[in-house]
Structure 1
Amino acid sequence: MSSLLLSLLLLPVLLLTLASTLEFRYHSNREVEQYLLQMNTSNPDIAHLYSIGQSVRGQQLWVLALGLSPRRHTVGIPEFKYVANMHGNEVLGRVLLLQLIDDLVGGYRRNETWSQLLLNNTRIHILPTMNPDGFDSSNTDCQYSVGRFNENGVDLNRNFPDAFAGLKRQQQVDEEKREAEVRAVIGWLRMESFVLSANLHGGAVVASYPYDNSNGGSEQVGGASVSPDDDVFIHLAKTYSHSHGSMHRGDVCADSRPFLDGITNGYQWYPLSGQHAGDTSGFHLVSLNFT
C-alpha cells in the first residue's frame, strides 16, 4: 500500500511527459468546471464530483473523487488528496491535476495496469483550484503580479489554524473570520480521513515536508521542526525530487541557499503559521513546488 501512495505522489511530475487527450494549456474556471462535469457524467462508476463550498465570489470549489467506490469511504482503501492553485497566480498545479484526471480515467478505460492498480486500491480526491477568484484576477509581468490572494486580499496559505497555537487560543479564534475557501477545506478535512496529501504551488523548485511551524519543544531538531513521521516524509520528498528533471539538483535563485537533494523541512526553510500543510487536517502534507 505504501508503494501505491508513493506512486500517487509522483504522478504530477510524471504527467509532464505523458500524452493526454486533454489539451495541455491554461483553462478558465468555467472550462475547468465543464471538464469536471463531463468526466463525472461520462464515468459514473469510478468518478464522483462534489463541491466542498464556495469562494468569496460564489464560485464552486469542485472536487473530483476517483476510485471503485468514488462516493463513499471503503474500509481498507486509503484516501488521498490533491490541492492546487491555493495561490491564484500559481497556475501550473491546476493544469497538472486536470492532466492527472485525464490520464487516470483514460488509463483505466484502456485497462492500463498503473491506473487500474491505483483506482482499484485508493480513493483519490482532486481539487484543481482552491482559489478560483484569485486565478480570475491574476496578471503577471516581469515586475509585478496579482492574483496570489483571494477576493478579500487574504493569503489562503496563512489563514488556517496553527497546530502549535494551543487549544485555548484556537477556541478564541472566530471561525467565521476565516476565509470562505479555508472554511470549505477545513470542513472537507473533517469529512474525510486523508492519509496523505499533496499541495501543488509554483515558485521554488523544492519538495517541502512537515512541520512548517514549531512551539520550541522537543519537535525541534537541528534547526528543523520534525514530525513523528520525519523519516517517511524525507523518503517521499527525496523520491519525488529525484524523479523530477531538475529538482534534485537543488538549484535556486542567486540570493537563496541551495536545497540539498531538492527537499527541505518547512520550518527550516522559513517558519510559517496557519499553513494548509498538515496544520488543520491532522495529517501531514508534502508540499510540491514547481516553476
Structure 2
Amino acid sequence: SWLFHPVWSDVLIQGRSLMKSVNQMCPDITCIYSIGKSYMGLKLCVIEISDNPGKHELGELEFRYVAGMHGNEVLGRELLLNLMEYICQEYKCGNQRIVHLVKETSIHLLPSMNPDGYEMAYKKGSELAGWSLGRYSYEGIDMNHNFADLNTVMWDAIELETDKSKLINHYFPIPEHYTSEDVASETRAVISWMQTIPFVLSANLHGGELVVTYPFDMTKDWAPREHTPTPDESFFRWLATVYASTNHVMSNPD
C-alpha cells in the first residue's frame, strides 16, 4: 500500500502516488524501493530509472539526486517528481538523449529525505510558519550538518603518520562512534544507501539561495580563507559551472 502512514497529508500522498504512476507508466525502466524510515516512521522512497532497474550492472554508472533534506525547502522535491515523470514520458516518445541516459546510467531519485519536516511545514502553511519550521528533522537535527566530519579525521591522520608516503588520503572510513544518538535516522539511512550502492556522482537540491557548492575542501579550521584545492578541483568546478550556466537566473551577471 502507498498509504504508509495514517497521518500523511494529501500532498504527501500525491507525491507517492506520482511515483507510483510513473512506475506504472514505465514499468520496464523504473522500480521503487525504500532506504529506511524517518523518525516518525515515514518511508524514504526512491525511484530508480534504468534499463534494468533493481540490478547493478557492472560498468554502468550509478547516479543519485536527493532533495528535501530541509523539509521546508520544497522546490527540490517538486523538481525530482517532475524529472521522473519527464524521463518516463520522453523515453516512451523515443527522445534519444533520454534513451541514452536510461540505457547507460542508473538514476536514483529521493524526493524527500525529511518527510517529517515537510509534513510539519505543510500543515502549518507557508504564510504562518516561521522560516525554520520543518527545516530540521522531527528531533531538531539539521541533516545538512549531520554527516561525518572527515576533515578532522584526515588532519589527525596526517599529524600521526610519521611516514607521509604511506598515508592513504583518498578514502577515510566513517568513524565507529558515528552511530551516536546525535545522528538522525534519516542520515543513517542515506549513509547505508551510499555504502550499498557505488554511486559515482550525486547532488543534493536545496532551496532559498543561488549557489552551487561542491566537495571537498581541505581547510584545517574555519578561520583561514585559503584556497585548498583537492585533486578533483577542476572536475568539481566544471560540474558547478555546467549547472550554474544552464540556470538562467544564476548565469545572469546582473
TM-score between the two structures when normalised by the length of structure 1:
0.70
Alpha carbons of structure 1 residues 178 and 249: separation in structure 2 relative to 1, 3 Å: same
**1:187 is matched with which residue?**
192
In the aligned structure 2, how far is the partner of 1:232 from the partner of 1:169? 24
State whether residues 218 and 230 of structure 2, in contact with CA within 8 Å, keep that contact through their aligned partners in structure 1.
Answer: no
- The residue that corresponds to 2:138 in the other structure is 151
Aligned with 2:21: secondary structure? Answer: helix
The separation in 2 between residues aligned to 1:31 and 1:163, in whole angstroms, is: 38
Range with bigger deviation, 164-173 or 235-244 = 164-173
1:60–1:114 distance in 2 versus 1, CA, 3 Å: same
Q: Map of 1:153-232 to 2, 5 A cutoff? A: 153-166=140-153, 170-211=175-216, 214-215=219-220, 223-232=226-235
1 CA distance for matches of 2:138 and 2:217? 25
Where do 1:1-291 residues align within 5 Å? 28-138=11-121, 139-141=125-127, 144-145=130-131, 146-166=133-153, 170-211=175-216, 214-215=219-220, 223-249=226-252
Q: Which moved more, 1:168-177 or 1:192-201?
A: 168-177
CA–CA separation in structure 1 for the residues paired with 2:235 and 2:213: 13
Q: Give distance in 1, aligned partners of 2:253 and 2:128.
A: 24
TM-score, normalization: structure 2? 0.80
> Could you tell me whether the CA contact under 8 Å between 1:57 and 1:151 is conserved in 2?
yes
Identify the residue that residue 285 of structure 1 maps to in structure 2: none
The answer as to whether partners of 1:238 and 1:248 remain within 8 angstroms in 2 is no
CA RMSD of aligned residues (A): 2.4
Q: Is 2:219–2:226's contact at 8 Å kept on the other side of the alignment?
A: no
Instruction: For 1:176 and 1:38, locate their aligned partners in 2 and report how far apart those are by CA, in whole Å.
Output: 37
Task: Indicate the SS of the match to 1:173.
Answer: helix
Instruction: Please tell me the residue identity of whatever aligns with 1:164.
Output: N
CA contact (8 A) 1:84 1:129 kept: yes
- Structure 2: runs of 5+ lacking an equivalent: 1-9, 154-171
Is the CA contact (8 Å cut-off) linking 1:85 and 1:131 kept in structure 2? yes
- CA distances 1:81-139 after superposition (whole Å, capped 9, x unpaired): 00001001111001100110011000001111121011011000000010111011114
